[in-house]
Amino acid sequence: MSSVRAVKVRDCVIGGPELVVMAGPCAIESREQILQVAEVVAACGGRFLRGGAFKVRTSPTAFQGLGWDGWKLLREAADAHGLLTVSEILDEGQIEPARRYVDFAQIGSRNMQNVPLLKALGRSRMPVMLKRGFGCTIDEWVHAAEYILREGNQDVVLCERGIRTFETATRFTLDVAAVPIAKQRLGLPVIVDPSHAAGKRDWVESLTLAGVACGADGLLVETHPEPAVALSDGPQAVELAEFPALMEKARRVAFALGRTLPSGTRLAAAAAC
Ligand code: PEP
Ligand code: MN
């Protein structure tokens, strides 16, 4: 497997021997929801709390997120449990004000070729997670990353989240080969999002383990306390109660490959003493 130049987001190293887990709901919905998720993610060794505040939904009538109030709740919940935050930034104007709330800027699949946004994040020096466009080749994804790198920002992590193929049994098709190929092409860390590829929680476990097995440097997983009433991407959300078992399986696969996945944050460990 190709070695990569690690990317640091605050005190967290992505691309080292330790796999970095980022998990949370698709969208931040309430204080109670995000605090509940943060507690479990931290206790399972997650380093990042994920959650969208500005959602790019297929339908304009679908829930669009809580906006700035959502980011405040994300920060509060992450801080309460010693986690970092990752969330999608939609436009250039959000970058500077987002810094208070977002540690790791996600560029969504639909924005992978939004060149002004790529360049602006390149100038911002904010660590960036670049999701693969679901209709884009590895080559196009690599070029999108180069727009950020050429502006001087080297803190870029790629995220394979599935591409559109003729298969309809899953929402997208997880392109596992893209992980080692993108790593070799750019020498940057690559993480896997099994949730958007699966589209249905039944397949999230298999794709999570496949992601670890193909050399992903981290995982981005959607989990929700009550997926049946989730306002966004409920069908693919792992039940929060099932999340620890999923992480335990991922930990074993990582271990088999000579990598580690922490079993609990320092805060969670301290609370247990
Ligand atoms: C998300 O992470 O919730 C999301 C919208 O992802 P993508 O951009 O990969 O569809
Ligand atoms: Mn989602």
Ligand 1 centroid distance, CA of 128 (Å): 14
Rounded distance between C-alpha atoms, residue 230 and residue 28, angstroms: 10
- What's the confidence (pLDDT) of residue 3? 86
Q: Positive or negative CA dihedral for 31, 111, 101, 218?
A: positive
Q: Which ligand sits nearest to residue 171's alpha carbon?
A: 1
Rounded distance between C-alpha atoms, residue 115 and residue 60, angstroms: 23
- 26 in ligand 1 pocket by Cβ < 6 Å? yes
- What's the confidence (pLDDT) of residue 264? 77
Assess contact for 88 and 52: CB atoms under 8 A: yes
Structure tokens belonging to residue 144: 């999108």
> Ligand 1 atom 5: the closest Cα is on which residue?
108
Rounded distance between C-alpha atoms, residue 21 and residue 125, angstroms: 22
Q: What type of residue sits at position 209? A: L
Q: How many CB atoms lie within 10 A of CB 150?
A: 11
- 232 in ligand 1 pocket by Cβ < 6 Å? no
Q: What type of residue sits at position 132? A: R
> Ligand 1 atom 4: the closest Cα is on which residue?
108
Instruction: Walk along the chain (273 residues) and give the pLDDT tens digit of each residue.
Output: 668 999 999 999 999 999 999 999 999 999 999 999 999 999 999 999 999 999 988 899 999 999 999 999 999 999 999 999 999 999 999 999 999 999 999 999 999 999 999 999 999 989 999 999 999 999 999 999 999 999 999 999 999 999 999 999 999 999 999 999 999 999 999 999 999 999 999 999 999 999 999 999 999 999 999 999 999 999 999 999 999 999 999 999 999 999 999 987 544 554 543
Assess contact for 122 and 149: CB atoms under 8 A: yes
> Ligand 1 atom 9: the closest Cα is on which residue?
109
State whether residue 223 is helix, strand or coil. Answer: strand
Mutation choice for ligand 1 from 109, 159, 222, CB with most ligand atoms inside 8 A: 109
Q: Which ligand sits nearest to residue 231's alpha carbon?
A: 2
- 224 in ligand 1 pocket by Cβ < 6 Å? no
DSSP annotation of 200: S
Q: Closest ligand 1 atom, CA of 161? A: 9
Assess contact for 10 and 84: CB atoms under 8 A: yes
- 161 in ligand 1 pocket by Cβ < 6 Å? yes
State whether residue 219 is helix, strand or coil. Answer: strand
- What's the confidence (pLDDT) of residue 268? 54
Tell me which residue of 50, 108, 54 sits closest to 83, measured CA to CA: 50
Rounded distance between C-alpha atoms, residue 132 and residue 210, angstroms: 17
Kindly report the length of the chain.
273
> Ligand 1 atom 2: the closest Cα is on which residue?
26
- What's the confidence (pLDDT) of residue 273? 39
Ligand 1 centroid distance, CA of 109 (Å): 6
Q: How many CB atoms lie within 10 A of CB 58?
A: 6
> Ligand 1 atom 1: the closest Cα is on which residue?
26
